[in-house]
Structure 1
Amino acid sequence: MGSPAFAQTGNIRGRISDATVDNPIKGATITVAEDSTIRTSTGADGTYRLSKVPVGRKTLIITFVGYERTSVPNIDVITGKDALADVKLTASFKSLTEVVISVGPPKDRPLNKLAAVSARQVSPEEISKFAGGRSDVARLATNFAGVSAPDDSRNDIVVRGNSPTGVLWRIEGIPVPSPNHFSSLGTTGSPVSALNVNVIGNSDFITSAFPGEYGNALGGVFDIAFRKGNKDVYEYTFSAGAFTGAEAMAEGPLAKKGSFLVAARYGLAGLFNAGGTTALPNYADLSFNFDLGKSKLGNFSLFGIAARSNINFRGDGIDENDLFAAKDENTDVVSKFGVIGLKHLLAVNSYSSIKTTIGASSSSENVDRERIFNYDTPRSTTLPFTKINNNESRITLSSVYNARYSNRFNLRAGLLLERYNLKADLTSRERQADSDNDSFPDYINLINSNNSYTIFQPYVQGQFRIAEALTLNAGLHGQYVSLNSEFVPEPRASLTWRIAPAHSLSFGYGLHHQNVPAPILFLNQYINGSPVQTNRDLDLVRSNHYVLGYDLRPASGWRTKIEAYYQSISNAAVEANPSSYSSLTEGATFGFSIDKFGLVSKGSGRNAGVELTIEKFLDNGWYGLTTASVFEAKYKGSDGITRNSPFNNGYVVNVLAGKEFKVGSGRNVLFADTRLSTAGGRHYTPVDLQASRAAGYEVLQDNIAFSRQYDAYFRMDVKFGMKINSSRKKVSHQFYIDLQNVTNKKNVFVRRYNRLTNNVDQADQIGLFPDFGYKLQF
């Protein structure tokens, strides 16, 4: 039987490293602020372990000569699992022997110290904590300023008025396809994430003017890091939830110096009708990170994800309000996502390091859809309607050199080489004529691609601390795409001025480019009966980002931030003849246009707005976050008319708050969280009902594209639960109930032509849904 001291204590572990080169710092002192007698120092590999720390929220103080004194608050110490606190220290400015004052909570600052504007750090606890978040990092991001979600049924995000297709996902430093279940070629979101929060470490989310190492993106960057397993003891986690599914995780020491971390999930959402459809979705994923420890050759680690999902829609079992299916169709969908990588970190000397990662990733989807023509009549005929067989694979090499030449100057230089292999096939009767007069639309091959191409991205960026209060980041990113043999240089720069200890100003600029989505590039146009990819050589879409920010810290644990931004976009794909179409509008629905041929790179757009963030970091048991964005997103097609982008909501407001209450002997915690979100409605193109009835499929009034707006979006979520720390064993429990859309507000999903009713019908998003979960850690 454990002693009372053991029963109410836990452990904190982590790694202390240099913020620039990531080399371990030996001899750093780590102290628990609430009890200065609990302290330790780091070993040669930079790791530390604090034992017998009383359960509850704790603050660490980390000090080392020549580095800024850093505090890390709100570390949640429990009995069932070691708390993890990895910290990167920044060299002090004036001399190598001076230690400056505490820099305060680091969670709002990105891990990437070269990301000075429009960036913040995302922690695994945040992903799990917020009400309505479904333990999904993409859904968490919708709480941040400048970010909105098209609808509740998927985790696509709109960043500052850009299409969701403009988001870049990276895992451990390498770009990957959309890391989601049920994902489609060209998209960046889906109904269910394949990223397991139990494996994710602290990561970065950047919304504009990205640093020099990021490319081929216009909207935002998710830079996801995997955490390392516990190298001291074995630990296990079992959990279950309506959205998160059934989960199991194991971690512990590997060989003499390393660690392993393996986590598996199986989806349960279909059992609780949680996905906006009456069909039963099945999905499972496996994530891992094997750290092989430090050796003379450096530190190697192997990481990866394997994910598979499928769903079968049957028309006779579909509800008429189903968001994804119809009564006159039967559809089978299978999708896969995978990534595996080998990372190597080598300390060249005390002030520089090289990180090299080689990886392979893939994403595939197979869709077989048949339609029942003349549904529910004696003439009903079932025919194949759509067949999709897409497989995108990449081999990626990334190598980064980091150096801290002085306490004033840091340098990062690297290269990223991606070799794509895209096998894409789409055959469909959608929107096709009946040229053979058999009374049914022709079954036409729209995409038939077997292409290999290369994207090469070299970059260099430096950080120069002009004065203790003035920091300049400047760099150059290059991007070469073999598909159209285009090379573009992209300058990046930011300047941060700390006017006073609690006040700072920042300015950022970045030039960015991105490919037009693959389903548009490789679309077939039939010329003299032969398929031709007339969009293949389109230019990269070009975007200039400008950001001005003011940061105020009015009191301990509080932060206020205001950012204004302007984004000018050119080289968007538009039709050669005057029309309202632009590739900037792709991503407004879950598919891509199939009738846009011979496009030219002459379109433009602009996004502008102001964002406010007021954040109360967790302290004395409570936290709060309020974000508000007012913005405008416009575009021009080849007709030269300025129109609303489909992503021009106009405003987004989020209010989150939470409270923790100690109960019983003080070792257990009752918690409550709430989230309120409202936004202007999405813009949409009205249906031409008469033309749709005549054609038998939806025809839009493209001459007045995106001229209508849905009603404003509103949603409120309430979550409450309890954390229980065992009084006798190294065990902890957690229970929660998450009442999503607690007011049962029926937000608009879409207004679309219904071929069965021959009318324009409205489909609403899901109403009140009670999510729940349980977690056991030991």
Structure 2
Amino acid sequence: MKTMFFFLLFLGYYSFAQSTQTVRGKITDAASKAPVVGATVVVVGSNPLNGTTTDADGNFRLLKVNVGRASLRVTYLGYEDIFAKDVIVNAGKEVVLDLSMTESFKNLNEVTVKYKRSEDNKVANNEMSTVSARPFAPSETLKYAGSLGDPSRMAANFAGVSGANDARNDIVVRGNSPASLLWRLDGVNIPNPNHFSSLGTSGGPVSMLNTNLLAKSDFMSGAFPAEYANALGSVFDLRLRKGNDEKHEFLTQVGFNGVEVGAEGPYSKKSKASYLLNYRYSLFGIMSNLGFDIAGTPYYQDFTFKTDVPVGKKGQLSFWTLAGKSNITFLGKDVDTEKGDAYGDENTNTRVRFETGIAALSYEHRFTDKTFGKVTLSASRSYQNFKGDTVIYKQETKVISEEILAQQAEFTNEKLSLNASVNHKISAKDKLSAGVIVDLSRFKLLNSNLYPNAVMLRNTDGETMLTQAYVQWKHRFSQNLTLNAGLTGLHYQLNNSAALEPRVGLAYQATDRSTFNLAYGLHSNLQPLLLYFYQTQNTNGSYSLTNKDLGFTKSHHFVLGYERSLGENLRLKLEAYYQSLFNVPIQPSLGYYSVLIEGVDFAPTNVGNLVNKGTGRNYGLEMTLEKYFSNNYYFLVTGSLFDSKYKGSDGVERNTPFNNRYVLNVLAGKDIPLGNRGVLSINWKLTSAGGKYIRPINLEASAEANTTIYDESRAFTQQQSGYFRTDLKIGYKLNRRRSTHELAIDLQNITNHQNIFQQAYNPRVNKIGTAYQQGFLPIPFYRLTF
């Protein structure tokens, strides 16, 4: 009833006068970044026609564009047309677009003009991507039910991707460990950008990335271009947008990710320099501070800032920073043992604290109308502190007898980086790019077990360097056939490991509606930093770093794709892939362990004496049927059939813990215009996936040891029941004269289906207990832009 009251309250503000907004931006050459002067930009379907042309700097401005959704067409002789569909226009914020045009292919007899690259919902930002690349707009992270404004949770809807669990946003791509994902932000390889993010993982419960500050970005699931290295499974290539350089704008928002405020605008009316900033604080933390007692309250806050300063006509200076910290405490006495608790263990007290900070300064310069370069200096720091108590109860009661400090850890990883690249357009047929990335890392790693036996697991500090150099070439044999080729080299100073990786892709447009794609990549991945410095205890009591000389894990990744346009806004995409993994660290003696299972527990694995002799394989078939938003509705259906296996030193081929076998996602949404200013939106999502393979618990051995003991001989032979969840999001948007209100309720797991989270031995009752993932959870959302 309260939700309905708020909807009626907003509807009470309704006015029939049509609101308008300014849509402006810049048009540049995709290969050289040179401004496209004199391009025609029109609002499709406007009456009277609303159009303009770009000025000497490639800028355009469209006044009095009706709020709602607008489609723009950009044309210029000698370039492929741009058709930017369904651009969201709100009264509370100007629309500022940065669009790129691709020079059309010319031959002796004709000039064929077709657009491709700039159609936002089909083609990736990175021109060197041939296959397995999916661009996404920031609006999608808010549109899809269950995504909570989180890029990772949004990407879990794509073909070949599955969420690790409801508690975190780690994602599994084509059966690979979530730890094999590469995060990149504005060209910089960054540490895990999530709150409560353990070193060596790629996800967390809450993202530090703010959707309100992102521009169109890319997600890649395999055979990616040569500029991306040190990743096996996937790449998130994210971009921060520029702040409004003409008008001050403000934002306030309340949702799952917290309470936030934001601002952007120019420094002065005479300058085109702009700023963009946002601060966010945990909603649950605020509630706890106001007196609401919540067990396991997550406290977190983050801050993002970016500034862009033009330097003459051909230069651009940018600085950005992303910083966050978080802490949480789980006490065993607070765990509800009757219904199970996915976030705690009644036999353990857990206290953790995390800090992450990233800053980058970059300068981009256009040397000529065909050549531009960019250099970036960046620094980052990740810190993690963990303390765990063993809670001992009086026999068969919930009365605490003793709390003993059992584990502690403190990890610090600092990095200084240099990224330099140059891009040159030789002609409409050929483009070259090359670059170098140097990461200098310093680290301090301390952790130990204190109870029941004292063991020092890691005790080291030092520094090392990872160097990458790459070159890429794009060649268009004809209008219909394109080659993307590249070579990247890696060197890891810690143990003098090196890798040379070729990448190649072919795209053939067979008809106006059909395209075939083929790509291959050799990929290499460093081991998790904590694995290199695990200390193996010798028989005389001393310690040795038996994993320090481990080389790269490597894989051959093959992808064959087919895309077909079934209509103006309907697309079918099929991809088949095969990934052969080798040089995988495993135990030297008979055992099930492989680095390919890292990331299943989100905690460092303590295994020594590893050797690069393991193998693995992933293969599957993916399908995407997508109807882009038009006529006030959209739908997305993605399906994946796959198999993910590995071999340890015992020679047994096992399922990886990420081998769900199948994943099905069905999403749909409908906008219902309510006059000229209001829109009611309904978004729905269904996910069904096979159960995960786990290590069975040995009850007798667990009872004897008084802790969870697994049956290693049957590792990953037992499959959990399948995963099922459906979400519903209902929202209302009201455009007033100079502001936009957005109100929504995200009803997660509306059937309250019980999906297994984990199982563990409970020594107090001598039973194996099961904790379940998130049940039905309504999450409110409100945003005001003005």
Normalization by structure 1: what TM-score?
0.95
> What SS does structure 1 have at the residue aligned with 2:49?
strand
What is the identity, as a one-letter code, of the residue corresponding to 1:603?
G
Task: Indicate the residue corresponding to 2:499 in structure 1.
Answer: 488
Q: 2:260 corresponds to which residue?
A: 247
1:442 corresponds in structure 2 to 453
- Aligned match of 2:594: 582
- Listed one character per residue, the Cα deviations across residues 538-580 of structure 1 (whole Å, up to 9, x for unaligned) are 1100111000000000110111000000000001111110111
Query: What's 1:733 paired with?
Result: 741
In structure 2, what residue type is equivalent to 1:362?
Answer: R
Corresponding letter in the other structure for 1:14: G
Q: After superposition, where does 1:427-438 map in structure 2 within 5 Å?
A: 427-429=448-450
- The range that moved more, 502-511 or 580-589, is 580-589
Amino acid at match of 2:273: G
Does the 8 Å contact 2:18/2:677 carry over to 1? Answer: no
1:59 equivalent to 2:89? Answer: no
Matched-pair contact (CA < 8 Å) for 1:360–1:393? yes
For 2:312, the equivalent position in structure 1 comes to 295
Q: Please say if 1:150 is aligned against 2:164.
A: yes
Do 1:631 and 1:651's aligned partners in 2 also have CA atoms closer than 8 Å? yes
Q: For the Cα contact (< 8 Å) 2:657–2:692, is it kept in 1? A: yes
Q: Corresponding residue for 2:559? A: 547
The corresponding residue for 1:354 is 373
1:689-731 CA-partner distances (Å, limit 9, x unpaired) = 11111112211111111001111100000001111011xx311
Q: Hey, what's the Cα distance between the residues in 2 that align with 1:379 and 1:6?
A: 66
CA distance in 2, matches of 1:563, 1:586: 26
User: Once the 2 structures are TM-superposed, how far is the Cα of residue 383 of structure 1 from its aligned partner?
Assistant: 2.0
Matches of 1:269 and 1:86, distance apart in 2:
37
With 304-313 and 316-325 compared, the bigger mean Cα shift is at 316-325
Q: Deviations over 1:308-367 (max 9, x none)?
A: 111122233333322232233332211011110011110010101001111011211111
The match for 1:309 is 326
What pairs up with 1:67-466 in 2 under 5 angstroms?
67-94=79-106, 98=111, 100-103=113-116, 105-241=119-255, 243-255=256-268, 256-269=271-284, 278-295=295-312, 298-320=315-337, 321-374=340-393, 380-429=401-450, 441-466=452-477
| Alignment partners' CA distance in 1, 2:93 and 2:147 | 23
| C-alpha contact 1:45 1:294 (8 A) present in aligned 2 | no
CA distance in 2, matches of 1:476, 1:607: 23
1:719 to 729, 752, 764: 729
1:600-615 aligned at under 5 Å gives the runs: 600-615=611-626
- Is 1:651–2:662 an aligned residue pair? yes
Alpha-carbon separation, structure 2, partners of 1:132 and 1:604: 36
Q: Which residue of 1 aligns with 2:489?
A: 478
Instruction: Provide the secondary structure at the position in 2 that maps to 1:157.
Output: strand
Residue 257 (structure 1) shift: 1.6
Structure 2 counterpart of 1:743, from 744, 751, 754: 751
Inter-partner Cα distance in structure 2 for 1:30 and 1:254: 28
Q: CA deviation at 1:95?
A: 6.3
Give the direction of change, closer, same or farther, for the CA distance of 1:328–1:751 in structure 2 (3 Å limit).
Answer: closer
Question: What is the match of residue 609 of structure 2?
Answer: 598
Aligned to 1:433: none
Cα 1:411/1:692, change in 2 over 3 Å: same
Corresponding residue SS for 1:447: strand
Pick closer, same or farther for the CA change 1:99–1:6 going to 2, 3 Å.
Answer: farther
The Cα shift of 1:304 comes to: 1.2
Asked whether the 8 Å contact 2:590–2:649 carries over to 1, the reply is yes
**Secondary structure class of the residue paired with 1:589:** coil
1:269 Cα deviation from its structure 2 partner: 4.2
Q: Distance in 1 between matches of 2:350 and 2:578?
A: 43
Change (3 A) 1:633 1:238: same
1:763 to 763, 766, 771: 771
Q: Specify whether residues 27 and 280 from structure 1 end up closer, same or farther in structure 2 by C-alpha distance, changes over 3 A only.
A: same
1:688 matches 2:698: yes
Q: Compute the displacement of 1:7 (Å).
A: 5.3
SS in 2 for 1:614: strand
**RMSD (CA atoms):** 1.8
Other structure's SS at 1:553 match: strand
| Runs of at least 5 residues in structure 2 that lack an aligned partner in the other structure | 1-14, 289-293
Tell me if the contact between 2:207 and 2:257 (Cα under 8 Å) persists in the aligned partners. Answer: no
Equivalent-residue separation in structure 2 for 1:278 and 1:571 (angstroms): 44
Separation in 2 of the partners of 1:504 and 1:344? 37
Whole-angstrom distance in 2 between the partners of 1:609 and 1:15: 41
Provide the C-alpha distance between the structure 1 equivalents of 2:643 and 2:627, rounded to a whole number of angstroms. 28
Equivalent residue number for residue 62 of structure 2: 50
* Alpha-carbon distance in structure 2 between the residues aligned to 1:632 and 1:299: 46
Comparing 26-35 with 146-155, which one deviates more in the overlay?
26-35
Aligned in 2, Cα 1:168/1:154: closer, same or farther, shift over 3 Å?
Answer: same
* Residue 636 (structure 1) aligns with: 647
2:509 corresponds to: 498
Equivalent residue letter for 1:730: R
What fraction of aligned residue pairs are identical, expressed as a percent? Answer: 40
Rounded to whole Å, the distance in 1 between the matches of 2:310 and 2:764 is: 62
Shift of residue 84, structure 1, vs aligned partner: 3.2
Q: Structure 1 residue 375: deviation in Å?
A: 5.1
Counterparts of 2:237 and 2:32 in 1: how far apart (Å)?
17
Partner of 2:51: 39
Determine the C-alpha separation between the residues in 2 that align with 1:63 and 1:754: 67
SS at match of 2:164: coil
Change (3 A) 1:394 1:379: closer
> Where do 5+ consecutive residues of structure 1 fail to align?
430-439
TM-aligned CA deviation for residue 647 of structure 1:
0.6
Native 8 Å contact 2:353 2:385 kept in 1: yes
1:629, 1:653 within 8 Å by CA — same for their partners in 2?
yes
Provide the residue aligned with 2:3 in structure 1. Answer: none
Q: Aligned partners of 2:729, 2:278: CA distance in 1, in Å?
A: 25
Q: Does 2:671 align with 1:624? A: no
Aligned partner of residue 20 in structure 1, secondary structure:
coil
Q: Do residues 674 (structure 1) and 684 (structure 2) align?
A: yes
TM-score (norm 2): 0.94
- Residue identity in the other structure for 1:760: I
Q: CA deviation at 1:245?
A: 1.2
Residue equivalent to 2:526: 515
**Native 8 Å contact 1:257 1:294 kept in 2:** no
From 686, 703, 707, the equivalent of 1:697 is 707
Question: 1:535 matched to which residue of 2?
Answer: 547
Would the aligned equivalents of 1:156 and 1:189 in 2 still touch at CA under 8 Å? yes
Deviation at 1:271, TM superposition (A): 6.9
Partners in 2 of 1:315 and 1:578 — Cα distance? 36
1:363-396 per-residue CA deviation (whole Å, 9 max, x = no partner) reads 1111122223355689933221111111111111
Contact 2:341/2:772, CA 8 A, preserved across alignment: no
Tell me the secondary structure at the aligned position of residue 783 of structure 2: strand
